[in-house]
Structure 1
């Protein structure tokens, strides 16, 4: 998974205020609940010397995702009185947090983007035209996204109504869009639900090489997504939760090959730090749940990363500090060296220290 979404957080020097909080709308009086959460976080930021303009920039963004229904959260970042990034999170954080430090605390945000699987969803519903006797129409909803972030940040999508007899021509146009999405945008699957005749006639003419990418849902009941939520969100969750993107699968296979030959260079926190120092990491691999207990030492550049201050001093650095959140240091180094992120459940692939790297090249 690429980490380009976090680039705005590193365009300016710190300190940065980082806030993650539950902004769910599935409770009684959600605005009051969110306000109480924010009040506690605001006190924490001010207690850690955050400046008032920066705290005010955070406050303006808190709860701005009110158009999104259901359970979700927010990750908000600001520095020097300006908002850097505010994103809606598919899941509320396990614990509300507010940090003010030299590095943005981006680990939770990055993990909520994973596995970042591109897909398309289509629902075709047959309906009667009011006041037109027995005439019927097809109602077609089409939406693309990247799972799981699109759960709470879906694309605008398209909504069409056409006479049933016009479906063959419309199906040809829609199929061309879907095939183009798989060939150009890399959509890994197309999930279809609704009228069986319409769904089958859409899929049948598709190129045989893409047939495995179509998933037809048996339940044909028409579903309306809640405000701000993805089309077929529940069904997509069943299909995609716990799954890696095809790109990440290939990278993980390459990592396993490297580990079989040189485990000491690719697994564990010392190996990951050494690879990121040299811009040698193609991908940073983290176990979920993340349990990074050691502090790291960092300087002003992404590659200024070490297990101790003495190591950075040996590199000739005179300005560095102990970073209390190792995840923040690792993600900054990955972003700054164009490494990707792969999140793997601990039960599936336990890693030493919960961290590993896929190397761009091997050797001294």
Structure 2
């Protein structure tokens, strides 16, 4: 997964406030619960010398996702009185946190973005329309003996899992069933374009069997491997702010790596077989990130990073000890208590990608590894 979405955070010099908050709407009196949780974090930030203007900037963003139904969270970052980044989290944070330090606490946010699988959903439903249904339908119904059938088309693209609470492009169309052949051609073209531009890896189809099957037949062969037809064709109620077919997508995509992430882990296994000391463990990861040599940072879930690192003002100013940075000639550096924040900043600053894998699937020394762009002599 690429980390460009974090770029705004590193364009601002620290200190910066990082807040992770459960903003779920599936609780009784959710607004009151959110107010109490944020009040606790607010006091914590002020107690750690966060300037009031920065706290106020976070204040304005904390409850701005009230339109999203169900369980979710919020990650908010602010510095020098300005909001820098605010993101919806598909899962509530394990606990509410508020930190104020030189580096933004980006590890929880980055992990909630993985594996970042691009997909599309297409739902096709046939409905019976009469001249009494809507004024718009009256004329068409009159031409068809008082009633006719329409096909309702719902399409949505997204990147899993963030699209659970931040869906991508969505459109809804209703057409007479006899207009489906023309619409079908356009829809297939859009799906192919999405595969080419966004790298869509899965297209989930649901609804009327006749319409779904005709779409599958019309799709070019290179799209067939991405098509997944759901057996259940019942109409699904759309939850506010949530992804279409969220439950079905969770079954299909949770625990799965993107195609690119799978390729990266395969490359790591090859490199580890040859030179494990260069690619596995915290020391190897730090050394590779220092040199801009890491193509990909691999972290296990749950993260097991418990050793402080030393950092400077640049992303590549990263070391296991302060003496190492001093030997590089740095005059200003500090001990960073959040090693995950230091690793993510180094990865983002050197255009390295992030892959997150369950610990039981790929046990790693220190819970961290890298894929190298190149190997030295």
| TM-score, L = length of structure 1 | 0.99
Matched residue, 1:46: 46
Report the CA distance between 1:209 and its aligned residue: 2.3
The structure 2 residue matched to 1:228, chosen from 226, 241, 251, is 241
2:88 pairs with 1:75: no
2:124 pairs with 1:111: no
Written as runs of structure 1 = structure 2, the 5 A alignment for 1:1-364 is 1-130=1-130, 131=132, 132=141, 133-364=146-377
Counterpart contact for 2:54–2:81, Cα < 8 Å: yes
| CA distance in 1 between partners of 2:80 and 2:313 (Å) | 17
RMSD: 0.8
| CA distance in 2 between partners of 1:257 and 1:83 (Å) | 43
Report the CA distance between 1:19 and its aligned residue: 0.1
| CA distance in 1 between partners of 2:303 and 2:255 (Å) | 15
| CA distance in 1 between partners of 2:262 and 2:308 (Å) | 30
Q: Which runs of 5+ in 2 are unaligned?
A: 133-140
Report the CA distance between 1:67 and its aligned residue: 0.7
| CA distance in 1 between partners of 2:237 and 2:294 (Å) | 43
Deviation track 1:113-162 (CA, whole Å, cap 9, x = no partner) reads 00000011010011111334441111000010000011101124110001
Report the CA distance between 1:224 and its aligned residue: 2.2
Q: Which runs of 5+ in 1 are unaligned?
A: none
| CA distance in 2 between partners of 1:44 and 1:291 (Å) | 25
Report the CA distance between 1:254 and its aligned residue: 0.8
Report the CA distance between 1:212 and its aligned residue: 1.3
| CA distance in 1 between partners of 2:304 and 2:47 (Å) | 26
Counterpart contact for 1:175–1:203, Cα < 8 Å: no
User: Which one has the largest radius of gyration?
Assistant: 2
